[in-house]
Copies of this chain bind each other. A is one copy, B any other.
Amino acid sequence: MLLINLKAYKRTIGRGAIEVLEAAERVSEETGIEIGIAPQPTDIYLLSKNAKRVKIFAQHIDPVRNEASTGHILPEAVKEAGAVGTLLNHSERPMTLIEIGEAIEIAKKIGLITVVCVNNDKLAKVIACLSPDYIAVEPPELIGTGISVSKAKPEIVKNSVKSVKSVNEKVKVLVGAGISNKEDVKKALELGADGVLLASAVTKANNFYEKIRELAEGFFYK
């Protein structure tokens, strides 16, 4: 899977988010690659109504125990708006261990795919015990740098894949941080990853379609 995180980029909200979606739909149709987009919560409904093959993810959900939780993101609301899954514990939105455990549990119950982000291979193994659908390994020091983890720290990718699979074979591993071109994707897959998680390579691209198409081509060598 190629998962595109739109973060809080102003360029890719509303109409901009739709443009990323249209580009992703076209690439997905042309290449058959599974693509996901994680927009701002306010854009989940808009994108979901317009998505065909592309899957829409939330960037975060709160494990709401009490409905009197103003300003928290209700997992059921995210699902209702059309999201099929959610990121959790992104290094820009760290969660407590308790929250991660509860959020995975709620997500499973209501049918949301979970993509739990971790900083390193050690925490990847830890989270594997909670059996999320995906674990995304993103060394925070590389996020947004354009220096891909698959090149700079290949051992983190290898170790993550190995230790996650040793705990639970079904948990898939995404690789993030600094993924910016076809080569980075290819290398990540060669190291055993099941896909990539990225943001600025797409959100700052001159041409959304061309960049997503290039990244998707990284999967062809698999």
Binding site for B on A (CB under 8 A): 5, 7-10, 13-14, 38, 40-46, 59-60, 62, 64, 66-74, 76-78, 80-81, 83, 87, 89-101, 118-120, 122-123, 125-127, 129-130, 143-144, 199-200
Contacts and interface: CB of A to CB of B under 8 A. Distances in A.
B92 A94 contact: no
B72 A92 contact: yes
A60 to B, nearest CB: 3
Contacts of A96: 89, 94-97
A71 B80 contact: no
Nearest to A86: B71
A13 B70 contact: no
B13 A76 contact: yes
A7 B41 contact: no
B144 A68 contact: yes
Contacts of A92: 68-72
Contacts of A120: 101
A9 B67 contact: yes
Contacts of A90: 70-71
Given A7-B69, A70-B5, A97-B89, A77 B123 contact: no
Contact of A127 (B74, B76, B97, B200): B97
Given A68-B199, A122-B101, A41 B73 contact: yes
The 10 closest A-B CB pairs, nearest first, are A71-B93, A60-B71, A42-B81, A14-B80, A41-B41, A40-B77, A94-B96, A70-B90, A8-B74, A8-B69
A176 B85 CA distance: 35
A93 B69 CA distance: 7
Given A59-B70, A68-B143, A73-B40, A130 B126 contact: yes
A7 B68 contact: yes
A87 B8 CA distance: 19
29 contacts: A5-B70, A7-B69, A7-B70, A8-B66, A8-B74, A10-B67, A10-B74, A13-B80, A38-B70, A40-B77, A41-B41, A42-B42, A42-B45, A42-B73, A42-B77, A42-B78, A42-B83, A43-B45, A45-B45, A68-B143, A68-B144, A70-B92, A72-B92, A94-B97, A97-B127, A98-B119, A101-B123, A125-B129, A126-B127
